[in-house]
Amino acid sequence: MQLDWLLQPLLAQLNTGVLVLNDQHQIVFFNQFIARRADKRLEHTQGQLVYDVFDDLPRAWLQRKLDGVLSLQAPAFSSWEQRQYILKLPHLRPLSSDSLYMAQNCTMLPLTAPDGVSHYVCMLIEDATDAYVYQLQLQQSMAQLELANRTDGLTGVYNRRYWQQQLGYEVARAVRYQHSLALLLFDLDKFKQLNDQYGHQGGDAVLVELSAVIGALLRDTDLLGRYGGEEFGVVLPETDLQGAVLVANRICKAVAEHQLLFNGQTLNVTVSIGVSSYKGQTADELIQQADMALYNAKRQGRNRVVAWQEPAEVYLKQVK
Partner 1 sequence: MTDFQFSEEQRDCLQELVNVAMGLASDKLARYLNTLVHLQVPAIKLVKTEQLPEHFADRHQQQSVTMISLGFFGDQGLRGETIMLYQLENVGVIAKLLGYSDDDSSEAEMLTDISSVLTTTFLNGLAEQLDNSFSYAAPRILSSRDKHFAEKLASTAEQWQLALQVDIRYQLTDYSFNCDMILLIPGEAVLRLRLILDQILASF
Q: Among residues 69 and 89, whose Cβ is nearest to partner 1?
A: 69
Q: Does 215 bind partner 1 (CB under 8 A)?
A: no
- Give the residue, chosen from 22, 97, 104, 105, that forms a contact with partner 1 under the rule CB under 8 A: 105
Q: Which of 164, 256, 250 is closest to 215 using CA atoms? A: 250
Q: Which of 171, 160, 124, 152 is nearest to 16 (CA)?
A: 124
* Site size with partner 1, rule: CB under 8 A: 21
Closest separation in Å from C-beta 68 to partner 1:
6
Contact with partner 1 (CB under 8 A): which of 16, 26, 84, 107?
Answer: 107
* CA distance to 5, 62, 124, 211, 212, per residue, from 226 (Å): 73, 53, 55, 9, 12
Among 1, 2, 3, 82, binds partner 1 (CB under 8 A): 82
CA 5 to chain centre: 53
Distance CA 136, CA 282 (A): 40
- Residues paired with 235 in a beta bridge: 183, 223
64 binds partner 1 (CB under 8 A): yes
From 75, 90, 156, 243, residue interacting with partner 1 (rule: CB under 8 A): 75
Q: Judge whether 43 and 35 are in contact, CB under 8 Å.
A: no
**Smallest separation (angstroms) from partner 1 to the CB of 106:** 9
The active-site residue, picked from 230, 231, 285, 313, is 230
Q: What is the DSSP letter of 113?
A: -
73 touching partner 1, by CB under 8 A: yes
- 126 catalytic residue (yes or no): no
Does 76 contact partner 1 by CB under 8 A?
Answer: yes
Among positions 26, 28, 40, 68, the unique one binding partner 1 when judged by CB under 8 A: 68
Give residue 213's identity as a one-letter amino acid code: V
In the bound state with partner 1, the residue whose beta carbon lies nearer, of 121 and 157, is 121
Cα separation, 251 vs 271, whole angstroms: 8
Q: CA–CA separation, 70 vs 271, rounded Å?
A: 74
Active site positions, annotated? 230
Residues binding partner 1 (CB under 8 A): 58, 60-61, 64-65, 67-68, 71-79, 81-83, 105, 107
